[in-house]
Chain A
Amino acid sequence: MIEIIRIALVTAFLSLGVFLMLTAAIGLIRFPDVYSRMHAAGKCDTLGVGLTLTGLMIFQGPDLVSVKLLFIIFFVLLTGPVAVHSLFRAAINRGHQMWTTEGWKQWRKEEHRREECE
């Protein structure tokens, strides 16, 4: 009985983690510019890795391998935000344009006008 609960818990954690990674990938493709893409890729990935490894830890049971997995989670949580931050700074320093709703609406309006002219 306990075995079944354990396996169910592992499955839940793994599928949730994989779902988050999939969401991150979809967001990476769908979002319009560098900055908002980083929102999808940087953070959903961190939590996805964390959940997946937690599932593996439950599967492994309490021993040294689990401790190593815990180390990996800890370091991913620590380095993930720093990596996203430095990538963000690099994009800003290179002068990438930021996508805004107002700009998008204006672009759509101008395109509409252009089509009418033709």
Chain B
Amino acid sequence: MTTGARGKLENVRTFSFIFTFLVMYLFWLLNSGVFELFYLSLGAASAFFVAYVFHSRFALIKDAHSAVRAFVRFMGYLPWIIREIALANWDIIKRVLDPGMPIDPHIISFQSTLKSDLAMTTLANSITLTPGTITIDIDPDGTFYVHSIAREPAESLLAEPPCEMAARVGYIFGDFMNPFKKDEYHGRQEQEVK
């Protein structure tokens, strides 16, 4: 490993540690609501301990720049997904309360063209959160298997890949997570293939 790469790794570790510490301390402050010196220092101590032990697991995006970018883009994604959930919920309500109960369960599969674990997890959660569709399984190459209550809720997913939801999720994470993680991920995958 060259010195440049090691320096970058150090930066990454510092970022994930500081980020975890700040989030944990904020969580402590908002939950305790007592701003006396004793409790503040107690919170700092426990936040430091948690951050020291778990920062590599907690900070999912370990590069400060892409973390900020992902956060901003995720904020833009929220209104769209909430609107989508509300519309789909209305559809499910109609199906439940309709006397004829027009349901027609299917299992569909589609290619999402996503690469990173985080992007696929976000997409799977978004699909499950949208009423009418539940993610069953994901292949490592990005193929999603989805159970849908009828044909209509799944139609938008079956559009030309990547479908709108996958494209939006891919945009949040810049399609790949970050240089370190991406190499590690692909390396592991190739080993398994051999």
Residues of A near any B CB (own CB < 8 A): 20, 23, 26-27, 30-33, 35-36, 38-40, 42-44, 46-47, 64, 67-68, 71, 77-78, 80-82, 84-85, 88-89, 92, 98-101
Across chains A and B, the number of contacting residue pairs, with CB separation under 8 Å, is 89
Contact indicator B129/A43 (Cβ below 8 Å): yes
Using a Cβ–Cβ cut-off of 8 Å, how many residues does chain B contribute to the interface with A? 29
Residues of B near any A CB (own CB < 8 A): 30-31, 33, 85-86, 89, 92-93, 95-97, 101, 103-105, 107, 124-125, 128-132, 134-137, 147, 149
For the complex, give the distance between the alpha carbons of A84 and B134 in Å: 8
Q: Can you name the residue of chain B whose Cβ is closest to the Cβ of A79?
A: B125
Contacts of A39 in B (CB 8 A): 92, 131-132, 134, 149
Q: A39-B149, A67-B30 are in contact. Are A84 and B128 (CB under 8 A)?
A: yes
Contacts of A23 in B (CB 8 A): 92-93, 96-97
Kindly identify which residue among A77, A89, A92 contacts B129, using a CB–CB cutoff of 8 Å.
A77
A74 CB to nearest B CB, Å? 11
